[in-house]
Amino acid sequence: MKYCQKFVFPFKKNLVIISIVCAIPFFAQANNFYVSVNGSDSNAGTKEKPFASLERAKDAVQISMQKKGEGVYSIFIDGGSYHIEKPIVFESAKFGGNNKIIIKALTKEKPVISGGKLITSWKKNNKGIWVAQLPKNKNWNPRELFIGGERATRARFPNQDYLRVEKVGNDRRTNFFFEKGDFPIPENVDGVELILLHDWSISRIGVKEIDSGKNNLIAVDSIGTKSPDFFNLDQWEKNPRYYLENAMEFLDADYEWYFSSVEGNVYLKLPENENPETSEIVVPFAESLIQIKGNENKPIKNIHFEGITFRHCNWQIPDGGYCGVQACYIDARPKSGWTEIPSAIKVEWAESCSFTNCAFENLGASAVWLSTACQSCSIKNSHFNDISGNGIMIGEGRDRFIDGEVWWQKAPEQVAKSNMIENCTVTKCGAQFYGAIGIWCGFTANTTIKNNEIYELPYSGISIGWEWSPNATPCRENLIEGNHIHHIMQILSDGGGIYMLGLQPGSKILNNHIHDVEINAGRAESNGMFLDEGITDLVVANNLIYNIAKSPLRFHKATTNLVKDNYLFCTDENPPIRYNATKEEDIKKVDNKVYSESDEDYLKQLKTIIQKWKNR
């Protein structure tokens, strides 16, 4: 501005031009706010005097918008961890219009938004176990604990692998019998949790009673979802797998921990010479980290996160237990119907919002959900690791109602559409809830899932669709292209690298590389792709699939679809395509290359094609 004051031109036109040119750097600077762990929320939020919290910077942006109107507003965050107890909320009522808000890491910095609390003041008891008390003024019942960024094991028995149900109870639902000596009987069952595996889902439910005389374990409610009603204990594996968690009697291995809700104490077993005070030990507390909330009449637009890491988010399972239906949808106890587990970051009624070069780690439910009516939003070049539930969620299921009618029938225009997931890595999802998906899409249209790597999952890699019939829904023209999906289905069954469901006209699965689906523990198949009920007008082309426990492709209750130019490598016992309640002639097959492991050149062909694929 001093430059402008020094030179005075005689023509009004020139005066106007100079004032505009000089105003640009002034307002651009005023629209930038800074956050630092060494800052203070009483500061001005400048680079020299930054705020201490994103919440304060968000409020400063809102005030600035009210004064100046629409524009581009940026919040730059310095490195370090920023601990929050409640979510940071962006609402269209306060951040509406055509503003663009960028929340961005400073160059070369890696800021962390954490919903966790550091646990300190550890003391060693007479049994060599470290003990710390959680703050008494917090209603807090932690399910997770992280040491130096690594998930510690909640005390369990057995430490590895599983026990087997000996015999189910008479009602086939609430109890079962075990072999005498299978596990140490806890003195107090308060807080003890049963984890039981179904084919494609799990139950996590409290234990009501363990009768050591009858070798009978009774849960606090029905084990397995009540709807559908076929979730009986003996519906799946002949003797279902299970294990038990969170009893002092199970605390017998290094880096295991136990929480006593009666005492409010955390117990931690560490190697002999390790002191917890020298490690960063975090327990998640906040139940949500970021919420981006528009509404039907006023969508929220242009909220962008760049280079931020999101960690530690707490979620408590319902009192009646976590009884999985599919893909982290659960029995909505005590209500009827289904509900989804929450996400650390939720976006709804939003347009053109994005997460770029971000990381999502150590989260207690699902990570990011692009929910109701999200349009043209994206998640790119981001990393998802160690998530209790689903990694990424797009769209909705069937559980929202408008005037008593299912939302997608009453208002199909509210479908999430034109969203993109691109160049992300998604790994170790389902860390607590094994039926989780790397990338889950419910009812969604024009969604693109492209060039992602998805690996080390207990269940399926990508799931898209949420209607078990050929009935028309808003689902259409979805594209799954160029993804590398491997080492999945490591615990559960009846899924695949890609699972697609329901009528989705115009959808395509192209150029994906799927391999190492080697475990098939349950009753149903694990496949490279499982194309389920109602699939019609789907193109499956130019995919490479190998090292699969069962068939590379499986169609179930499907109609007319095109399978073209795929490389399908099979075991001798399994055909390249399995047809369950599907007419083989309805699946048009064109120029697919099929190899069986007994073929003389099987391994040579596989090696050649893999190399060719990598060099594309």
Q: In the structure encoding, which two tokens stand for residue 480, read together?
A: 């799954």
Q: In the structure encoding, which two tokens stand for residue 541, read together?
A: 């082309």
| Cβ-based neighbours of 612, under 8 Å, separated by 6 or more | none
Amino acid at 350: A
Handedness of CA 230, 234, 238, 243 (dihedral sign): positive
Are 462 and 498 within 8 A, CB to CB? Answer: yes
Are 267 and 260 within 8 A, CB to CB? Answer: yes
Q: Residue 138 is inside which H or E element, if any?
A: none
Of 581, 535, 524, 576, residue with least CA distance to 553: 576
Report the C-alpha dihedral over residues 4, 8, 12, 15, rounded to 10 degrees.
-10
Q: In the structure encoding, which two tokens stand for residue 362, read together?
A: 């150590």
Beta pairing class for 241-245 and 193-197: antiparallel
Helix-strand-coil percent breakdown of the chain, rounded to 5?
10, 40, 50
Query: What CATH fold (topology level) applies to the domain 396-614?
Result: Pectate Lyase C-like (2.160.20)
Of 181, 185, 178, residue with least CA distance to 164: 178
Question: What local confidence, expressed as pLDDT, does residue 98 receive?
Answer: 86
Beta pairing class for 392-394 and 439-441: parallel
Question: What local confidence, expressed as pLDDT, does residue 520 receive?
Answer: 77
Are 552 and 578 within 8 A, CB to CB? Answer: no
Question: What does the alpha-carbon distance between residue 597 and residue 55 come to, in Å, rounded to a whole number?
Answer: 58
Of 131, 137, 135, 75, residue with least CA distance to 100: 75
Question: What does the alpha-carbon distance between residue 429 and residue 236 come to, in Å, rounded to a whole number?
Answer: 23
Reported as a single tens digit per residue, the pLDDT across 444-479 is 999 999 999 999 999 999 999 999 999 999 999 999
What count of Cα atoms within 13 Å lies in the side-chain half-sphere of residue 389? Answer: 30
CA 362-364-365 angle, 5° bins:
125
Which of 156-188 are b and which e, b meaning 16 or more Cβ less than 10 Å from the residue's Cβ? bbeeeeebebeebbeebbbbbebeeebbeebee
Question: Which pTM was predicted?
Answer: 0.94
SS (H, E, C) 78-103: CCEEEECCCCEEEEHHHHCCCCEEEE
Question: What local confidence, expressed as pLDDT, does residue 136 receive?
Answer: 76
Question: What does the alpha-carbon distance between residue 318 and residue 449 come to, in Å, rounded to a whole number?
Answer: 32
Which of 551-589 are b and which e, b meaning 16 or more Cβ less than 10 Å from the residue's Cβ? bbbbbbebbebebeebbbbbeeebbbbbbeebeeeebeb
Count of Cβ atoms closer than 10 Å to residue 17 Cβ: 12
Question: What does the alpha-carbon distance between residue 482 and residue 378 come to, in Å, rounded to a whole number?
Answer: 17
Report the C-alpha dihedral over residues 460, 513, 161, 236, rounded to 10 degrees.
40
What count of Cα atoms within 13 Å lies in the side-chain half-sphere of residue 193? Answer: 25
Question: What local confidence, expressed as pLDDT, does residue 540 receive?
Answer: 98
Count of Cβ atoms closer than 10 Å to residue 222 Cβ: 21
Beta pairing class for 448-450 and 420-422: parallel
Question: What does the alpha-carbon distance between residue 461 and residue 372 come to, in Å, rounded to a whole number?
Answer: 22
Of 552, 556, 554, 559, residue with least CA distance to 585: 559
Q: Which residues of the chain have pLDDT under 70?
A: 1-30, 137
Question: What does the alpha-carbon distance between residue 385 and residue 309 come to, in Å, rounded to a whole number?
Answer: 11
Helix residue ranges per DSSP H, 184-248: none
What count of Cα atoms within 13 Å lies in the side-chain half-sphere of residue 466? Answer: 24
Backbone angles phi, psi at 352, to 5 degrees: 55, 45
Positions of E strands within 395-460: 401-402, 405-406, 416-417, 420-422, 425-427, 439-441, 444-445, 448-450, 453-455
Taking the alpha carbons at both ends of the chain, their separation in whole angstroms is 54
| Cβ-based neighbours of 302, under 8 Å, separated by 6 or more | 98, 99, 100, 101, 351, 352, 353
Question: What local confidence, expressed as pLDDT, does residue 30 receive?
Answer: 58
Question: What local confidence, expressed as pLDDT, does residue 9 receive?
Answer: 36
454 to each of 113, 340, 361, 509, 531, how far by Cα in Å? Answer: 24, 22, 15, 15, 19
Residue found by looking up tokens 């109870």 in the block? 169
